[in-house]
Chains A and B, each alone.
Chain A
């Protein structure tokens, strides 16, 4: 299994560290030629979604990655990565738009609204969740499975090959969500 991590801006090394702990091979995607070697799964990290959206287009990464996701490449978006996947972004322009969710950006307000909690995640029990200027999922289509809610808001969901969390599992000690994603990628490949 080889995982590509979008490394245009944001907290991509944190994801790499999680994959190192799990003993999974990974590499950074910074430009088109990084896609030349085939890979099995994609991580869209936290950071600024407008920055990543702009760079995806400037660096000719948008089309090949969107096509791969539509063709079933397993993809995991955290925070800004969730926004990149969303079909609808309140007050903003969608990026890949492949996942049938509507994202509300900065849904908890500015940095003073950032918080940490422990809440149940479908099948994983209670896990630590760190929200940094986070979005949440305001609404989800019928094919989307809700995996976690915090105070009634949807903060994790899955649709086919796409997994999205509003929080940052890569900022916690817990490998549970990354393991969940890798299991998901393996079962899709089987």
Chain B
């Protein structure tokens, strides 16, 4: 039995389940995240809230900075490349990143095509707002999906919307007759074989995390109760008053996401949450990038 590289990459995502992946910008932050119980870190030069504030073009991080983080921790290290920028992805593969996030948080490099991720040996995670986007990214070779949410806002509303939309569509696809799948695939603009998998299994063929706007243990548990298999936390941790404590609390809330008493305990006295901006106050909707 020969397993493909793609299967091994999907299986790494399985190992991350039930965990929290944290954005970090320095080796020091990476160590804080690991000590707090992060199951992986996302290495980037600026967290989404600062990318949003800085404006301009946002690109892949300096490989030197990513290497510094790789050397600082034993957990998997992920990094972002721009949508469609396959050379940034080649560079990240060359420095043996554990997972590439082809991310709408950075400025898109291509407004039509995503990266052909089947050409890479390293795994990719991609953002999606609904089932169609998720299955298109999987068809292109993504081995893990996350909601887009709205990064850098501390506002969970869009992540909730995307997770609900995806799961509602999955339930609808499950309820279809076999002979209706062809038309559904046409409408969703996705390959019919992937849609058949969803029809038969009631889930995506890869692991599905929540991301974009998660700022509190309660936000993280909300996403888990809505069906996420784990959580990305970007700006929410290192933009808050006590990053180490908040990070550890979010990790515990994800493990025991149905235990309100425990979540109440870990939510107590966390200090200031990131200030946050709501979706009506922002000019740039990153989730609109890459459909």
Contact = CB atoms under 8 A, between A and B. Distances in A.
A59 B18 contact: no
Contacts of B32: none
Contacts of B99: 111
A115 B8 contact: yes
Interface string B11-44: 1101111110000000000000011111110000
A18 to B, nearest CB: 13
B37 A51 contact: yes
B39 A9 contact: yes
Contacts of A112: 93, 96, 121-122
Contact of A31 (B16, B39, B77, B256): B256
A9 B11 CA distance: 14
A79 B12 CA distance: 12
Given A8-B255, A31-B259, A133-B76, A110 B15 contact: no
B122 A111 contact: yes
A116 interface: yes
Given A11-B15, A133-B98, A50 B75 contact: yes
B2 interface: yes
Given A7-B18, A8-B18, A31-B259, A132 B121 contact: no
A91 B75 CA distance: 13
Nearest to B230: A9
Q: By DSSP majority rule, is chain A's interface helix, strand, loop, or mixed?
A: loop
Nearest to A48: B39
A55 B251 contact: yes
B74 interface: yes
Given A50-B74, A54-B36, A171 B252 contact: no
B132 interface: no
Contacts of B122: 111-112
Contacts of B7: 116
Interface string A32-73: 000000000000001110110011001100000000000000
Contacts of A54: 35-37, 248, 251
B8 A114 contact: yes
B64 interface: no
A105 interface: yes
Contacts of B12: 111, 114, 132-133
B177 interface: no
A-side interface size class? 35 or more
A92 interface: yes
A116 B2 contact: yes
B15 A48 contact: yes
A10 B12 CA distance: 10
Nearest to A13: B17
A93 B129 CA distance: 40
A118 interface: yes
B264 interface: no
A180 to B, nearest CB: 19
B37 A55 contact: yes
A109 interface: yes
Given A110-B98, A111-B123, A116-B3, A132 B256 contact: no
A39 B34 CA distance: 31
A48 B251 CA distance: 12
Interface of B: 1-3, 7-9, 11-12, 14-19, 34-40, 70, 74-77, 93, 96-99, 121-123, 248, 251-252, 254-256, 259, 262
Given A9-B254, A111-B9, 14 more contacts: A8-B18, A10-B15, A10-B16, A11-B17, A47-B16, A50-B37, A55-B252, A58-B252, A110-B77, A111-B97, A112-B96, A116-B8, A132-B15, A171-B11
29 contacts: A7-B18, A7-B255, A8-B255, A9-B255, A10-B18, A11-B15, A31-B259, A47-B15, A47-B16, A47-B18, A48-B16, A48-B75, A48-B76, A51-B39, A51-B75, A54-B248, A54-B251, A55-B255, A58-B37, A58-B248, A59-B252, A79-B15, A111-B8, A111-B122, A128-B1, A130-B3, A130-B8, A130-B11, A168-B11
